[in-house]
Chains A and B, each alone.
Chain A
Amino acid sequence: MARVGAIVSAFVMWAPLAEGTDDEAHAAIMEAVAGHVEDGFTIREEYWKGELESGGKKLIRHQLFRGNEYWFWVASSIPGCDVKLEVYDANGASVTLERSEKGRVRGVRVTPAQTSSFYILVQISRAPGEQSGKPAVQLIDWALVYGYR
């Protein structure tokens, strides 16, 4: 039993710690994008979420349709994070047309030149100087929402 306790303690000590929740991040986005709904955008109920280590990246493959206009938004519940969002075509060329920034929410607008799979890159880094006094590895939650019209 003591051994199990030791193993559990060791795991707790080394397990990456996560702050905030992706639900908070999602809620922040939904609040920020209300104006787009009035502009005729349909915001999808489905969204991507997860956790990344500081400086970590996530690439998401997504089908886009020529003729539709898209906005993608990303946020973390942790204030002060450096959140980057970029959309690439299948050749790895950026197709981002416009960027937006509202509070902790970052957005990019895309009007695909052809119907195909595209790649959305999410990159999040903790604000410089925030690491001091905290455990070495901390996970940062994120959520990504998109809308189309």
Chain B
Amino acid sequence: MDLSWRDLVNRGLRAVWLVALPVQLQAQQAVAPPLDLQSFPASMIEEVIVPDPGELFSLMDKLPGQPNWDSWVRSDFGKGTLTDRTRLALWFGTLIADGFIAVQAENVEGVTKAGRRILELAESLSLRDAVLPHSRAIIEACEAKDWPRVRRELDRTHKTVREQMEMMRDEDLAQYVSVAGWLRGTEVLTSLIVESYSQDKAEILNQPDLADHFLEQLSGLDAEGKAGEPVQAVISGLRKVRQVMGSSSTASLSSESVEQIHGICAGIVNQIVPK
């Protein structure tokens, strides 16, 4: 059978089309139509889950320039004993973040100390029984240098504490734990970004919605709680952080803005952690 060059081209094109069609259909199926977010009823919108510090920290490790996590591992995790549950919850939140920092630095001593301090504070918050298995698992995994497991246990600790607080109708305290962890994480992150600034690194701080979320949560708490000195410092600091985050016209903040956020967060954490 003799085929002209035109027949060959036509057959070739048909074959290409037949091969491409299923691929095209698959691609069309994968892309969902746009969603009109403006018309979505607010009652159907669920609250955010706060990213764990490890989620942000591991991102820093992927970007060029080795961050010096070890310089941020605390030699002590706060002294003294507090009785005020609000202050304890805030302090606890910073400790969880400190645990993640020590994991990032793969600092066995730092993680072990953080794990022990977490248990001590849990005892003051009447949560010893719930936190004890996590504290043991953190120390055990740390001794085995199983860092992914330590991260998992720190995340579990936070979840357990939050759930226990909600069960004890201490939802306010659960919010304080979350916000304080975020503030301590941001304090460290901003310092490391400033040390070797790049727009990619600064983009990690494009979190104005999270700052809004915390402000909304804290402003909904009871008046007595809000009146407390540390909570007022947190609210006022968060407002400033939100302002700086919102002032950027691009996804990445300038080095000066990152430094500004660092100063605000450091000031708040300084008030939270007893000397």
Residues on A facing B (Cβ under 8 Å): 42-48, 50, 56-63, 65-68, 86, 88, 90-94, 96-99, 114-117, 119, 121, 148-149
Pick the contact of B59: A58, A67, A94 (CB < 8 A): A67
User: Contact: A58 with B44, CB < 8 Å?
Assistant: yes
Contact partners of B55 in chain A: CB under 8 A: 42, 65, 68, 148
CA distance A96 to B27 in the complex (A): 11
User: Contact: A48 with B46, CB < 8 Å?
Assistant: yes
Pick the contact of A68: B59, B148, B251 (CB < 8 A): B59
CA distance A125 to B209 in the complex (A): 31
Pick the contact of B62: A44, A48, A62, A67 (CB < 8 A): A67
What 5 pairs between A and B have smallest CB-CB spacing? Answer: A94-B32, A60-B46, A92-B35, A117-B209, A45-B159
Interface flag for B195 (CB, 8 Å) = no
Stretch at the interface among B4-12, B68-76, B150-158: B150-158
Interface flag for B243 (CB, 8 Å) = no
CA distance A148 to B59 in the complex (A): 10
Specify the chain B residue showing the minimal Cβ separation from A117. B209
Specify the chain B residue showing the minimal Cβ separation from A114. B251
CA distance A56 to B40 in the complex (A): 12
CA distance A5 to B152 in the complex (A): 48
CA distance A30 to B62 in the complex (A): 26
User: Contact: A116 with B45, CB < 8 Å?
Assistant: no
User: Contact: B159 with A114, CB < 8 Å?
Assistant: no
Known A-B contacts A65-B204, A115-B204; the reply to A44 vs B32 at CB < 8 A is no
CA distance A94 to B32 in the complex (A): 6
**Can you give 16 A-B contacts (C-beta < 8 A)?**
A42-B55, A42-B148, A46-B52, A46-B159, A46-B162, A48-B46, A61-B47, A66-B203, A88-B32, A92-B36, A94-B31, A96-B31, A114-B206, A115-B251, A117-B209, A149-B58
CA distance A115 to B152 in the complex (A): 23
Shortest A60–chain B CB gap in Å is 4
Shortest B243–chain A CB gap in Å is 18
Specify the chain A residue showing the minimal Cβ separation from B49. A46
User: Contact: B49 with A48, CB < 8 Å?
Assistant: yes
B103-158 contacts to A, CB under 8 A, are: 148, 151-152, 155-156, 158
**Sample of 4 more A-B contacts, CB < 8 Å, known A59-B46, A67-B62, A93-B34:** A48-B49, A60-B46, A61-B209, A115-B207
User: Contact: B156 with A45, CB < 8 Å?
Assistant: yes
Specify the chain A residue showing the minimal Cβ separation from B160. A45
Interface flag for B48 (CB, 8 Å) = yes
Shortest A99–chain B CB gap in Å is 7
Shortest B185–chain A CB gap in Å is 13
Contact partners of B23 in chain A: CB under 8 A: none
CA distance A68 to B57 in the complex (A): 11
